[in-house]
Amino acid sequence: MSSESRSESSLESPFDRPVDRQLTSSQKWDKYRDQDILPMWVADTDFHAPGPVVEALQERVEHGVFGYTNPPQELIDVVIERLASLYDWKIDPDWLVWLPGLVCGLHLACRSVGERGSSVISPTPVYPPFTSAPGFSERRLIQLPLVKQGQRSVIDFDQLEASIEPDTRLILFCNPHNPGGAVYRREELQRLNEICQRHHLVLCSDEIHCDLILEPGVEHIPAASLSAEAEARTITLMAPSKTFNIAGLGCSLAIISDPKLRQAFRRTRRGIVPDVNLLGYTATLAAFRDGDDWNRQQCDYLRSHRDYLLREINAIEGLSLAPFEATYLAWIDVSALGLENPPAFFEAAGVGLSPGADFGDKNYMRMNFGCTRELLEEAVRRIRVAVETHRDTQQSS
């Protein structure tokens, strides 16, 4: 490791300590078990959860009883206080609907809004459930390609409005965006809300990456927090899972202020979607109450990783990585390589990335850099060698 890399990654950081996830039934690591392929695909990190989360879980386990559990009142209070403190957004506890995962929230939104056969607009490229949920819900998907504005990939609001059809009832929205990493500004959210109001649309806003802002000076703004009108037509989805690496404990929340919309959402989930388990509630409370200092350190570490990747990936001829503002997910343009099968190419190089085709663009690959700097640098080294060898082969043929 170079001295520059050592300085950037701060070897004193607890995030530099590798965690052995082999033989833990990890989806991420089991995919390439017994293969020399670094798993950098599905969006969970390789970091220990914050100490307060682990301690809270240990205390609850020692209690020894694991029955059906209601959301703790303290958790409800912490969520309300957190939204007020971070975003000046005052919510009512009745607006909270607890879910065992954010993806089921997308599906519930699709099934709760509109009728069978009505249309749902979703941006692309995007996290795969955004494009699969409408079809599974007997709705018709309208894909809205993101556009470049400067170096950010965001919604073209004129194009959005032109895409709305008479039977459109719902827009699925991702902010911060996965996989592009853009964070929407207040004026952009205001424009989105104006369109929703004008066309009587419900907005389902996935904000799961809201605590992973890497760009200094950029802030997350919940779409529903703009006004009472925005609040009334928005289903906000949040979770601690990505930020605090507790996805396996399954605890998310929907915030729905409109009583009729909330009733439809609850009615749709009845008998199908289970309640959150008690350890999920326990971990979420500890993370939201006591995990912010830990997350500030994590974001510093991830910011260093992001800056390293922007420099190193863009120095490899044939690859391109645009600046991004949030998440630990790098959206890498590989189109210049002319690969027939990009996922297989990178796996052969010893790096397992998420195929861009899964998100709606085969010209890209998504890299999860929520790992130690040592592993990240090894992944970049393998990618550089593979791309240079490929280029030399192409030039000599």
Quick: pLDDT tens for 246-287: 999 999 999 999 999 999 999 999 999 999 999 999 999 999
DSSP 61-96: HHH------PPPHHHHHHHHHHHHHHH-----GGGE
pLDDT at 13: 86
Q: Do residues 107 and 135 lie in contact, with contact meaning Cβ atoms separated by under 8 Å? A: no
Torsion of CA 377, 381, 382, 386, to 10 degrees: 150
pLDDT score of 396 more than 70: yes
Q: How confident is the model at residue 119 (pLDDT cuts 50, 70, 90)?
A: very high
What's the whole-number average pLDDT of the chain?
Answer: 96
pLDDT at 12: 66
In this prediction, residues 289-303 reach a mean pLDDT of 98
pLDDT at 8: 45
Task: Name the 3-class secondary structure at 117.
Answer: coil
Q: Do residues 104 and 273 lie in contact, with contact meaning Cβ atoms separated by under 8 Å? A: yes
What's the token pair of residue 372? 């130690």
Distance between CA atoms of residues 139 and 45, nearest Å: 33
In this prediction, residues 104-118 reach a mean pLDDT of 98
| pTM attached to this predicted model | 0.95
Q: Which residues contact 348 (CB under 8 A, 6 or more apart)?
A: 386
In this prediction, residues 122-129 reach a mean pLDDT of 98
208, 180, 175, 178: which is closest to 192 by C-alpha? 175
Distance between CA atoms of residues 157 and 146, nearest Å: 10
Strand 234-238 to 202-206 pairing: parallel
Distance between CA atoms of residues 346 and 354, nearest Å: 10
Strand 234-238 to 119-124 pairing: unpaired
Residues of the chain above pLDDT 70, percent = 97
pLDDT score of 11 more than 90: no
Distance between CA atoms of residues 388 and 191, nearest Å: 44
Taking only the tens place, the pLDDT of each residue in 149-177 is 999 999 999 999 999 999 999 999 999 99
Distance between CA atoms of residues 155 and 173, nearest Å: 9
Task: Name the 3-class secondary structure at 133.
Answer: helix
Distance between CA atoms of residues 229 and 197, nearest Å: 8
What's the token pair of residue 147? 């556009």
pLDDT score of 10 more than 80: no
In this prediction, residues 24-53 reach a mean pLDDT of 97
pLDDT score of 1 more than 50: no
Q: In Å, how far are 335, 336, 351, 388, 391 from 339, measured between CA atoms?
A: 7, 8, 15, 13, 11
- Amino acid at the residue 359: F
pLDDT score of 89 more than 70: yes
Residues of the chain above pLDDT 90, percent = 95
How many Cα atoms occupy the beta-carbon half-sphere of 385 within 13 Å? 11
Task: Name the 3-class secondary structure at 135.
Answer: helix
pLDDT at 3: 40
Burial class (CB in 10 A: 0-12, 13-18, 19+), 378: middle
